[in-house]
Structure 1
Amino acid sequence: MNRRLSIIIFCLVVGSGIFLPRFALAYTLQKLDIAKSGDFVLGPGKTELSLDPGDSVIQELYITNRVGERRVFKVEVEDFTGSDDPAEAIKLLGQERGPYSLKDYIKPEQSEFILEHGERMILPVQISIPIDAQPGGLYGSILVSTAPPKEDFEISDNVAAGQMKLVTRVGSLFFVRVKGEVVEDGVLESITMASPGKTVYESGPVRFRLAYRNRGSVYLTPYGKIEITNLLGKKIGEAIVDPWFVMPGSLRSREVDWDRAMLFGRYRAKASINRGYGDVIDQKVTVFWVIPWKRIALIAAIFTIISWFLLWLKSKIHFTINVSVKPAKLSKSLKTSSKDDFDSQLTPDQNQENKDEPTSKDTI
């Protein structure tokens, strides 16, 4: 009898392992000692997988309540796609199915749960790829939102008077590549200054904008660097461009800052971007100027003031010399005038006598 019961129990255990979902009752809760910050955290923000048709894997998400009170969390699945707007990384599609849909193949264990402040849920998420899936990329997201539990509301005159407030959803993106022959085709379209039409800066930092287009069937992660050279062609610095993802059929931009002290003149920025496959590198160039006009204006103002002061000082010194010299000239002029005036007062006969009177030289 005991042997028969043991066999039955063994069969039930084995059967439950085969027929029940792989993550049944697999979620766990952790209690953390964390301060109140009025928000919650979802991680990781991005998961990349490369799977064969028919594969099934489990990934874990971490949801941590830092709101400061008990909260209800809701978990949803949505597809996302790329965008032709370079400033928009992705577009969430809501109930709509995307061209590279993953939403039917991704299943979180729980769709709704409650966490106290400081609690963290480790939530299993199962990704199962159909056996007949075509090679390429599949893209979906797990979105988590929160609100106070319903029992925490106080209803007065049909109006909720609790602490309810709107909270932006937080998402975790899943990038799944189904192995097989795919089309990888991307290109760096341009490098420009981040501010449209602005090519002259007063000082750093200088911000560049890269635009990359993905024309293939799978997402790409381009990366590279931007080299800066001066008017003489000498390299004076570079900015590293970290990898960023670009969805199929989309154009995405990336802004990169570069800074250096004491910039002046014309500079050339050359972007060298690896396409993210095949070690293919695209290069684009842009030109910008750095003219610290405020410093130049200040120096010019100081120079003008000094020049004016020197001219003023010179004029004062010249005037003083003129005043000291003029009395001597005036005295000589007066002496000459006195002799002439004396001669003019003599009669013609007296003048003639003065001319005929022998001088001391004639007497000698």
Structure 2
Amino acid sequence: MVEAQEKEGIRIQPAIIEEQIGPGGSFSSKLQITNISAEQKTFYLVKRDIKTLSPQGSPIFAAEGEKADFEISPWIQFENKPLILGPGETREISFTIVVPPDAAPGGHFGGIFAALATEQPKTTGISIGYQVGTIINLRVSGEVIEEAQLSEFRSERLIYGKPKVVFLAKVENFGNVLVRPHGILEIFDFLGKKEAEISVNTEGAAVFPKTDREYKVSWESDKFLIGPYKAAVSLVYGQDGQQTVYDTASFWILPLQTLLLIAGALIISIFGAVFLIRFFVRKKLRQILKHDGAVPVVRRHKAATFLPLFVLITVLTLALLLLVILFLLFA
């Protein structure tokens, strides 16, 4: 790994170490610690277990002496003495991980961190307690369980006014090792035509054992889209990528302004068509009666002839109001 952690004049390389060791085995490596400040400083090393991850994926470290389910800190050995570095100086620090013969198989997680000698280690266990250090992901061979489930997949809202949709996929890890689900999300219209395909978790964000994690996927299109749509997500995980989870979700795209214009134009068109039909029918009737010399009969209940038109316009108006209410509630 060429990544490094930097903060407050300290740089540590590598940022992450991942290894697989059998029970009773050992592993040795080195860290490079650099003083990137302009003055001499004294550092010391600390080791901590990672007990879980935050919803954002940041490690949450156990307090000193706190028991963690996937501990590794008791297995880490290094020379515990102050490290004095001049400006820009880099020093290599050796460490060894000795796995007990009875170590539980699966993932074990922790870190080695550097701090200024004038600072005190933060033991609150919050995710920001340690930021400058090397994260260690150790897999102990044995009965490794890789089991995950897509416990939830949905769009943030049911109805969208335009094709700008956010999807949420929650993956739950029932195993004893990290899983890094990744795959694709496909979007189809009501005819089954594929509208889009989006990659999911390309950065490889992991789910800690016995926890869940929510992945957010965004989709936006410049096309004019309307109607019901279906999203299907397929994720693979596991050391060989042979495990798969799949789920679907439905949502609507209803552009309110366009629908209002269409509904308004429809009401006006129907009203105008009925008015024109009545006008031409009456005109033709007067012509026929005048030609035959008959006297037109004046109806007293003339207003009743407008009843069908009134009912039609009322129904369309109520439907339009219902559409607006649904949009405001779900969009």
Partner of 1:22: none
Deviation at 1:51, TM superposition (A): 0.6
Distance (whole Å) between structure 2 residues aligned to residue 292 and residue 43 of structure 1:
51
Q: 1:272, CA displacement in angstroms?
A: 0.4
With over 3 angstroms needed to count, the CA separation of the structure-2 counterparts of 1:234 and 1:146, relative to structure 1, is: farther
Residue number in structure 2 paired with 1:103:
73
Partner of 1:177: 139
Q: TM-score, normalised by structure 2?
A: 0.62
- The secondary structure found in structure 2 opposite 1:101 is coil
Amino acid across the alignment from 1:92? F
Which residue number corresponds to residue 107 of structure 2?
A: 137
Deviation at 1:270, TM superposition (A): 0.9
Offset at residue 233 of structure 1 (A): 1.7
SS of residue matched to 1:82? strand
Does the CA contact (< 8 Å) of 2:52 and 2:61 recur in 1?
A: no
Query: Which residue in 1 is equivalent to 2:49?
Result: 79
After superposition, give the CA deviation of every residue in 1:47-98 in whole Å (9 maximum; x if it has no partner).
2211112222223333344445444333211111236x74455421121121
Give the corresponding residue for 1:251: 212
For 2:81 and 2:164, locate their aligned partners in 1 and report how far apart those are by CA, in whole Å. 46
Report whether the alignment pairs 1:270 with 2:239.
no
Give the match's secondary structure for 2:74.
helix
Check whether the contact 2:106–2:144 (CA below 8 A) recurs between aligned residues: yes
**Deviation per residue, 1:135-165 (Å, 9 max, x gap):** 232221122334779xxxxxxxxxxxxxxxx
Q: What's the Cα RMSD here? A: 3.6
Match of 2:61 among 92, 97, 107: 92
5+ residue gaps, structure 1: 1-35, 150-165, 305-364
What does the per-residue CA deviation read over 1:169-198, in whole Å, with 9 as the maximum and x for residues that have no partner?
Answer: 3243211111112333221111233x5xx3
Pairwise CA distance, 1:277: 5.3
Residue 251 of structure 1, CA deviation:
1.3
How far, CA to CA, are the matches of 1:207 and 1:122 in structure 2? 45
Task: Structure 2: give runs of 5+ residues left out of the alignment.
Answer: 1-5, 120-127, 266-331
- Aligned pair partner of 1:284 in 238, 243, 247: 247
Distance 1:63 1:204 in 2: 48
What is the distance in 2 between the residues matched to 1:202 and 1:110?
60
**In 2, are the aligned partners of 1:264 and 1:289 still within 8 Å (CA)?**
no
Q: Conserved in 1, the CA contact under 8 Å of 2:57 and 2:205?
A: no
Superposed counterparts of 1:314-353, under 5 Å: none
- Shift in Å, 1:263: 5.2
Written as runs of structure 1 = structure 2, the 5 A alignment for 1:118-267 is 118-146=88-116, 169-193=131-155, 195=156, 198-203=157-162, 206-241=165-200, 242=202, 243-262=204-223, 264-265=225-226, 266-267=228-229
Report if aligned partners of 1:213, 1:252 keep a CA contact under 8 Å in 2. Answer: yes
Contact 1:145-1:169 within 8 A present in 2 as well: no
1:108, 1:205 → 2: CA distance?
Answer: 52
Indicate the structure (1 or 2) with the bigger Cα radius of gyration.
Answer: 1
Instruction: Supply the AA of the counterpart residue of 1:79.
Output: D
Distance 1:167 1:131 in 2: 31
TM-score w.r.t. the length of structure 1 is 0.57
CA distance in 2, matches of 1:289, 1:66: 53
Report the CA distance between 1:232 and its aligned residue.
Answer: 2.3
Change (3 A) 1:282 1:56: same
Name the structure 1 match of 2:312.
none
Percent identity over paired residues = 27
